[in-house]
Chains A and B, each alone.
Chain A
Amino acid sequence: MSKRQIAMVMDLNKCIGCQTCTMACKTQWTNRNGRDYMYWNNVETAPGKGYPRGWQESGGGFNDEGELKEGRIPSLTEDYGKPLEINYEEALGIGPDGPSTPWTGVTRPHLKPEDEKFTTPNWDEDEGEGEFPNSFFFYLPRICNHCSNPACLASCPRKAIYKREEDGIVLVDQSRCRGYQHCVAGCPYKKVYFNPMFSRSEKCIFCYPRVEQGKPPACAKQCPGRIRFVGYLDDEASPVYALVKKWKVAVPLRPDFGTQPNVYYVPPLSPPKYDEQGRLTDKPRIPIKLLTGLFGPETPRILETLKIEREKKKRGEPSELMDTLIAYRHDEMFTITDEEEQGF
C-alpha cells in the first residue's frame, strides 16, 4: 500500500457538462504526441454509450474471487473515435502562404470532417433516456481512478505500472512499457490508452507534476462548476475526508469492478416526474436502480442525507455537509499541501 493516497471527489449535483475539464486536460497533456484521440478526462452523458463507447460492457477488472477478468481493447474508429480532421483549406480556400483553390472544376466542398464515417466521444450528449416529459440524464466526468487495487497494474506482464508511495498515483512507466496493451484490456473503466506514435500506453497521471508543486490537477482547478475536491484521504481537515470518510456521501463508480477506485462521486438528485395528467409527483426522474448500479447500495441513503441537510438550510439551521459541498472558497477545495496558498 502506498503511504498516502491522494483522492478526488466530484459532486454530480453541480456538474453542468461544460467540458471545461476535458479541454483543460486536452491542452495540458493530450493535444500532441500521439495522444490526440485520448481523453484522459472525459465527461459523458449518463445513461449513454460513454467514452470509449460501451466501456461498461468491455470487461476487465476483477471477479469476486479477485481474479482478473477478460477485457477487450476498444476500437479507435468505432469506440474512441479518430481525431477529427476538418477540411479547412479545401473549403475555405486559404493556405498558410497564400490562397489555394483545390476544388477547380467541381462544386466547392463545405466545411466538414475529412472522414465520411466517424464517431466522437460525446455523441449522445444531453440525450439520456426516458419518455417526455419524464426523460432524464446527468453528466458523469471520468478520469483514471488511481485505484488501490489497479487492474491495469495487475495486468502488466512487465510490471511496468506502479503506484507511487508518496501519493498513490498510478503510473505507466514510459521507459519500460512495451505497448502490449494488457492494461488497456484490463482496466474496466477503459482509462488506459495505447499511444500509436510511440507504441506505449498512457493515461491520466493525476497531473503529478502539478501536484508536486502543490497545484491541483488541471481538470480540478479549471472546473467552473466547482465540482471537484482534491486532497489526501488521511487528511482530516480536507473536504475530501469529510465527504468520503466522515459523511460518506462520496462513493466510487462501479465498485463491483473490484479495483478500489480513489475517485469518488456524490450521486445526483433529479427533479420529480409528472403524472399522466401533467401534475407533479414526488418521484425523482433518475431511476434508483440506475444510480445504485453505478454508485452502489449506499446511494439511496446518500440522496436522503442530501435532502435532509438541505432542508436544514431552508429552515435557517446550520449544516456542515451543505457548507462543505457549497465550498465557499475555491482554493479550499484543494488541500494538497500544508503550505499557505498564494493569493489575497
Chain B
Amino acid sequence: MKKKNKQNNSKINRRKFLKVSGICGLGLGIPTSALGKALQVDDPLRSYPDTKWEDFYRDELVKTEGTSTGFAFHCSNCQGNCAWQVSSNDGVAQREEQLAQYPQISWDIPDANPRGCNKGAIHSQAMYEKDRLLYPLKRSGERGEGKWEKISWDQALTEISERIVDTLQEKGPGGLMIHTGTGILSQGRRAGPLRLGSLLGSIRIYPSSAVGDMFTGATLALGVPNVGHSLDAWFEMDYILLWGINPNVTRIPDAHYLWEGKYNGAKIVTIAPDYNPTSIHADQWVPVQPGSDSYLAMSMVSVVFEEGLYKKDFIREQTDLPFLVRLDNRKLLRENDMKADGSDEKFFFWDLNSDSIKQAPGTRGSGRDTLRLGKIKPALEGEYNVTGKDGETIAVTTVFELARAESSRFTPEAVRDKTGIHPDVVRDITREFSKAEKAGLTVGFSIHKYAWGILTCWAQAMLCALTGHTADTGGLDTESQWSLGGIGPLTSPKPARFESGFLSEWMSGKMWESMRSHYDNDREFKERAGLGVEDVIDLAQKSIDKKWLTHYEEPEARIIFADNLFRRNKSSGHYKREVLGKTKLYVNVNYRMDSSAEFADYVLPAISHYEGWDIRGEVGYHRFVNLTVPPADLKPVGETKSEWEICSLLSDKIQDIAKARGIPKIEDPEFTVTKKTKVGKKEVSKTTPVMRDLDTLVSDFTMKGKVKNDKDVVKWLIENVPAFKPWKFEDAVERGFIVLNKDAGFTSPLYATKPYHSFETQVYLRRPYPTLSGRQQFYIDQEVFLKLGATVPTARRSLHPSKFPLKFYTPHTRWGIHSTWRTSKRMLKMQRGAPHVSICPEDAKKRGIKDGDKIRVLNDIGEFIAMAKVNPNVQAGTLMMDHAWEPHQFEKREGLNSAVAGVLSPLELAGGWGHLKFGAQWDGNQIALESAVEVEKA
C-alpha cells in the first residue's frame, strides 16, 4: 500500500521565516516613558542618572539565546569538525555559538576550545537564504535552462524510482550511480546513500580521489595516505615545516596550536608560492615557484645525504634503504631471483656482521611480523654479488646508494632556477629540520594537485625518514584520521561498485580532449613528464584494462548527494557537456541550488546541518566526536528531508515498482558470495552471484525496522563503533560530543593525556608498516615507475605549458568550504562580493590592469571573467584565485575550472604492485594546478 506523504502542516514559508529571523519589531522596545522625558545629566563620564533603557539590548540577547537549544557541527569537507550550540526561537534557528566545552587533555598543552570558524558562525543565516531548496523540483525546460516545475515528494520519488528500476532492468546494477560527495562527510548523514547504493550494487566513486585529496606520495612511503598527528601535537614540536598548506585559512580551529607552539619555542617555516596569511606569523617564508616542490624537496634530501645528516640506525631498521637492488634490471632483489620457487615478497640486505646476504624480516611475504634485526646490521652502502637461481652472479647495490645518487642531481645550486630559492636558504632549513629533536613536516592538500605531488610527498617522506623523524619525533603529517571500525555493516552490507574517483571523472568527462589541446607541445610535455601526452592517455586505459585501478562502464543514471560536480571538475565546460550527454537520469539532492543542481532533471531538497541527527568522528585533527542534536522545537525548513529518509522512501518506491513489474531480485554476477555448508562430513563451498533483493529492499535498508531515521543511525553508530565505547547514546546527547578511546588510532594507541602520533607501534614495537617492504618504502619497481626512472624519489618539472605566461593556482578559500557557504551574502560581503583574481603589480601594469578592473582569464581550454585584485604578495608569472566560486557567479556562467585542463599524473595510474592496490589507501588525484593562462582587460 503506498504511503501518502504527509505534508508538514507547520512548514515555514520563506516570507514568514525571513521576518522572524530578523527579530524585527524589537527595535521599538524602548520604554515610552523614557522618550521625550527631559533628563538632568551632569557628568556622563562619571555617572548616569537613568540606565533603565539598558534592558533594550538585554532583551535582544534573550531572544538570540532562543527558546530551545541543540548541538551541531557542520559536516562538510573542512575536516575541522567543531562542536556548536544552536538556539532556536519558535521553530526558527536563531544563532549558533561554539560549545567550547572540550576537556583539556593535559595541563601542558592548550585545550582545543573554542574551535569553529567564520562559516559555521553564520550557518543559522545561510540555512534560510534565498538559494535554499524548499520543495522538490522537476525541470520543465532544457537542462540548465533554469525552468522548473514544483512537484510533490510523492510524484518526485515515484518518477525517479520508475526510472531507476528501468535502468536496473535494462543495464543492471552498474547502470546506476549513487554518489555522496564531500559536502557531507559525517558518518551519520553519509550512511543513507551509502547503504542504499550498497544494497543496489550502484557505482560509487572515491570522493577523496575525485577532488584531488589523496596523499599518494605518503602511500608510496608509508602504505597509507593519511598519516601524521593530532594537531595539538604542533604545540610540542621544536621545528615545523608547513609545506603547501595555509593553516591560518584552512585549519582555522587548530591554527592556534602553531602560534602557541611558536611562543613555546618552536621555529615555524612556511613554504608556499605567495606570502600567504599563515606566513605572516612564521619565522620564515620560503617563496617557492608553484609546481617546483619536488625539486625543493629533493634538494633538501640531497643536503641530508651530502652532509651526513641521516640517522643510520633508524634507517637500517625502519626503512627499505638497505634493501638490495639488482644493477642489471633495477629491480629489487627477490627470493625468486635466487630460488626457483621463491617468493616475490621476500627481500634482502647485506649483513655487515656476517658479511653475507640475509633475508629482511617484516616484509609482506617474510612470515615474520617484526622489524627487529637481532644480530643483523644491514649495510647502507656498497655493491655486492649474489648468486642467482641458475648459478649466475647478480651484481646488486642498496636502495640507499641509488637514492643518494639520484638526489645528487638535485643540489640546491642545481635546482635554483626551478625553485627560485637561494641555496643557503635550502641548506639552512635542511640542517635545522634534521637536527631538531621534534621536527614536523605538515603537507597541504595543494601539493598533490600538481602532477608531481606524488614525488614531492615521497621525497618529503624520505627527508623525514632519513633524519629519523617519525612518531613522537614528528615527521610527515598529511592528515591523520582515526580508525572507526564497525561501520561496514551499516554502509556496506553488500558489495558496491567502488571505483577510482579521479580516473572515473577523467573518463566521464573525456578530459583527454582538453589535455591534448593544452599540452599540444608534445616535445615540451615529454621532456618534463618522461612520457608523451598520448602515452599518458594510453596508460590510463591500460590501468583500467589491467585492473590496476577500478573503473566500471559509464552509468546512465546518477543520483548525486552533496557534490558540486559541475563546479569542481576540470575543463568544466567540456566535462559538463560530456556527462550530461550520456546521463539519462540525473537527480541532485542538495540543500541549496548550486551550479550542479541547476542542471538536474530532478532536484530533491535536503536538510542542512542543524535540522537532522548526525555524528562525526573520523577527523584526526582532534579526538572529539561531535553530535548534531536538533533543538527540540526546530521546524523543518520547507519540505526538506534527511538523506536517510529520502533513501528510505526511495527504497519503498523501488520495492513497490519492482514488485509490480515482477522483478523480485536481480542477479549481479560482478560480485560473488561463497557459502560453506557441510554435506555429511565434507565441507562444501558454493559460490554464487550476489543477489540484489528488490523484494526486501525496505526491510534490508532499515535493518528490519531497527534503523528507521537519522536518530536511529546515530544510535546504531554509537552502539557499534568500538572507538566510541564506553559512551552511551544518552551521554552523548546530553554533552553534545564524546571522546574517542585508545583504539581510535591506526598505528598507535590514542593516549588519554597526550597528542596522537602515527607509527608508534612501528617505531617502538617494531611492527611492520603497511607496505610491501614492511618498512618506510623508498624503492618501487612497479613497471610505470621503472619506465619513468622514478624507482626512488626524484623530481620532475611542472607541466604548465610555456605557451601561456601565467601559472594559475587556486588555494582553498577562507570564505567557504569549497562551495558550501560560498554564495552566502554574509561571506561575499567579507570579500568583494564577486569572483576576483590576484595578480602581482608588475604583471597587472604590463597589461594595463588596475585593481577592480574587469578582466578575462583565458587559454585554449576556456575562459572566465572576474575582477582584478592587485596583490603584492603574489609572484610575477603567477595568477592566484581563491577557489570554489560557483560557476553561476561568473558572467556567462563559466567558472574558473573552464580554463583548467584535464591532466593525469602517470605514476598515479600504477597499480597491481605491493601495497599499490586500488582501494581507500591507493587512488590518484584529479590534478588542478598545472594549467597556464593569460589575462587581459575585459
Contact = CB atoms under 8 A, between A and B. Distances in A.
A160 to B, nearest CB: 8
A165 B45 CA distance: 9
A49 to B, nearest CB: 11
A314 B264 CA distance: 7
B543 interface: no
Interface stretch (A64-72, A204-212, A287-295): A204-212
A198 to B, nearest CB: 5
B872 A128 contact: yes
Nearest to B424: A279
A340 interface: no
A329 B830 contact: no
A93 B110 contact: no
Nearest to B101: A343
Contacts of B13: 96-97
A16 B834 contact: no
B1 interface: no
Contact of A113 (B109, B114, B828, B886): B828
Interface stretch (B123-131, B159-167, B344-352, B507-515): B123-131
Contacts of B110: 226, 326-330
Nearest to B132: A94
Contacts of A198: 27
Contacts, number: 329
A183 B36 CA distance: 20
A65 to B, nearest CB: 18
B255 interface: yes
A272 B27 contact: no
B369 interface: no
B913 interface: no
A1 interface: yes
A99 B829 CA distance: 26
Interface string A277-305: 11110000000000000000000000000
B166 to A, nearest CB: 26
A322 B121 contact: no
* Chain A: number of interface residues, binned into ranges: 35 or more
* Chain B: number of interface residues, binned into ranges: 35 or more
A161 B829 contact: no
B101 A222 contact: no
A132 B98 CA distance: 38
Interface stretch (A29-37, A53-61, A233-241): A29-37
Interface stretch (B281-289, B566-574, B659-667): B281-289
A335 to B, nearest CB: 16
B872 to A, nearest CB: 4
A248 interface: no
Contacts of A127: 869-873
B97 to A, nearest CB: 6
B61 interface: yes
Contact of A329 (B22, B45, B104, B593): B104
B61 A84 contact: no
A190 B798 CA distance: 49
Nearest to A197: B27
Contacts of B53: 173-176
A16 B147 contact: no
B277 interface: yes
B137 A99 contact: yes
B830 A120 contact: yes
A212 B832 CA distance: 37
B483 to A, nearest CB: 26
Nearest to A342: B101
In terms of DSSP, what is the predominant structure of the interface of chain B? loop
B914 to A, nearest CB: 41
A63 B834 CA distance: 41
Contacts of B425: 278-280
B95 A14 contact: no
Nearest to A95: B14
Contacts of A162: 41, 44-45, 47-48
Contact of B23 (A32, A113, A123, A164): A32
B394 to A, nearest CB: 47
B130 A222 contact: no
A78 interface: no
B823 interface: yes
A272 B117 CA distance: 29
B150 A126 contact: no
Given A13-B259, A225-B256, A328-B111, A22 B44 contact: no
Contacts of B57: 29, 205, 208-209
Given A126-B871, A132-B874, A111 B886 contact: yes
B840 interface: yes
A27 B96 contact: yes
Given A14-B259, A18-B814, A94-B148, A29 B60 contact: yes
Given A32-B23, A280-B284, A271 B117 contact: no
A90 B278 CA distance: 38
B876 interface: yes
B685 interface: no
Given A16-B277, A126-B871, A86 B252 contact: no
B280 A270 contact: yes
Interface stretch (B198-206, B749-757, B888-896): B888-896
B15 A135 contact: no
Contacts of A98: 135, 150
A19 interface: yes
A188 interface: no
Interface in B270-296: 275-285, 287
A222 B872 contact: no
A179 interface: no
Interface in A70-119: 81, 83-86, 88-89, 91-99, 101, 103, 108, 110-113, 118
B131 A110 contact: no
A113 B873 contact: no
Interface in A2-32: 2, 13-14, 16-20, 22-24, 26-29, 31-32
Contacts of B421: 278
Interface in B596-627: 598
B428 A310 contact: no
A271 B129 CA distance: 41
Interface string B681-723: 0000000000000000000000000000000000000000000
B370 interface: no
Contact of A1 (B45, B61, B252): B45
A96 B134 contact: yes
A278 B109 CA distance: 37
A223 B114 contact: yes
Contacts of A218: 97
A130 B840 CA distance: 11
A118 B48 CA distance: 40
A212 B97 CA distance: 18
A301 B360 CA distance: 59
B118 A19 contact: yes
B111 A125 contact: no
Contact of A91 (B135, B255, B874, B888): B888
B831 A33 contact: no
A209 to B, nearest CB: 4
A150 B46 CA distance: 12
Nearest to B106: A328
Interface string B164-184: 000000000000000000000
B430 to A, nearest CB: 14
A18 B121 CA distance: 11
B45 A123 contact: no
A326 B263 contact: yes
B284 A272 contact: yes
A24 B885 CA distance: 24
Given A111-B823, A344-B101, A126 B277 contact: yes
22 contacts: A27-B95, A27-B96, A28-B95, A92-B888, A97-B14, A99-B149, A113-B828, A126-B871, A127-B872, A128-B873, A132-B287, A153-B45, A160-B41, A163-B48, A209-B57, A222-B121, A224-B114, A226-B256, A278-B422, A311-B265, A331-B100, A344-B103
The 6 tightest CB contacts between A and B, nearest first, are A96-B14, A162-B44, A88-B130, A278-B422, A16-B248, A313-B265
